[in-house]
Amino acid sequence: MAFISSGYNPDKPMENRITDIGPRKYDEFYPPVIANNKGKWLYHEYLQPGIMVHVAESGDEVYTVRCGGARLMSVTHIREICEIADKHCDGYLRFTTRNNIEFMVDSKDKIEPLKKDLESRKFKGGSFKFPIGGTGAGISNIVHTQGWIHCHTPATDAPAPSR
């Protein structure tokens, strides 16, 4: 395999050194409708459980379909989530702090196909992979400690051994 130089010079290791570049700025990943209307939202409404619309001063609308997610997800499950986002949302999605998944679309016409797709995906036991809901007065995702997942934490994490 050929070595492709990144500009690093072993004779002068500190020359042109960049440290702690960190992740890219979050606003580079906004859907266009959100980037164009940041800070200019007039109001939002809950259309039905799990489905919201945000309306901007410009008249632009963004529709959000929220569904429950798991705290720990397999690569296969995340790929399925990305497949849904690519198919219906131009690749845009968001994870909330309570591990919900939000698919955002810029047209009301895109809600129903997205909703049907999410409702059609089930685990072998028959439960929904992506239960729609968690907005307004509805129950949101239940989040708790994850101390049990690490073999080295029971000595320091009280919730893990108490389960």
Domain ranges of the chain: 26-162
DSSP 25: P
What is the CA angle 11-15-19, rounded to 5? Answer: 120
Q: Mean pLDDT throughout 28-54? A: 95
- Mean pLDDT value of segment 126-147: 81
Global pTM value: 0.75
Q: Determine whether domain 26-162 maps to CATH 3.30.70.3340.
A: yes
In DSSP notation, 72-118 reads S--HHHHHHHHHHHHHHSTT-EEE-TTS-EEEEES-GGGHHHHHHHH
**Bigger pLDDT: 7 vs 127:** 127
- pLDDT tens sequence across 101-133: 999 999 999 999 999 999 999 999 999 999 999
Residue 2 confidence (pLDDT) above 80: no
